[in-house]
């Protein structure tokens, strides 16, 4: 992971904790996918993809979470829920955009329910 990505994930985790979320796991990996942050609030497990950008020349950070990336996150989320006995919890998929100016965070945009599972989960 690059320095900007790690910094963005750290900022996102701090932001979530300040909002009352409990960080359950970070950088959860399966063979073909990774989930940046897994958090919980109430009885909801949230799978969060973090995208940090210093400019939007190539589009908004959330636009990088395309259908292919979503499929991989959903696949990893399914494994996590089964492995960690969270199968009875509701879940959702969020994206957190981190906008950077130099080494400082200019803005954090938390997109709740950024995408949903289509079909069977």
Which stretches within the chain are classed as H helix? 3-18, 67-83
Nearest Cα neighbor of 8 from 37, 32, 39 is 37
Is the C-alpha dihedral spanning 59, 63, 69, 73 positive or negative? positive
Show the CA angle centred on residue 7, arms to residues 80 and 95, nearest 5°: 50
100, 6, 93, 90: CA torsion to nearest 10: -130
pTM of the model: 0.91
For the ranges 16-20, 51-55, 72-76, which has the lowest average pLDDT? Answer: 51-55
CB-CB contact of 52 with 8 (8 Å): yes
- What pLDDT, in 10s, does the model give residues 105-119? 999 999 999 998 876
- On the question of pLDDT at 38 being above 70, the answer is yes
Determine the average pLDDT of the residues in 83-91.
81
* 12 dihedral zone (left: phi>0; alpha: psi -120 to 50; beta): alpha
């Amino acid at each position: 992971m690059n320095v900007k990505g790690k910094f963005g994930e750290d900022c996102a985790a701090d932001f979530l904790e300040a909002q009352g979320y409990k960080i359950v796991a970070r950088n959860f990996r399966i063979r073909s996918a990774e989930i940046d942050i897994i958090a919980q609030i109430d009885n909801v497990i949230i799978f969060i993809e973090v995208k940090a950008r210093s400019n939007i020349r190539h589009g908004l950070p959330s636009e990088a979470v395309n259908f292919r990336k979503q499929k991989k996150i959903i696949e990893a989320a399914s494994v996590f829920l089964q492995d960690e006995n969270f199968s009875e919890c509701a879940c959702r998929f969020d994206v957190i955009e981190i906008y950077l100016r130099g080494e400082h965070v200019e803005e954090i945009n938390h997109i709740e329910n950024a995408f949903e599972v289509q079909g069977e989960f």
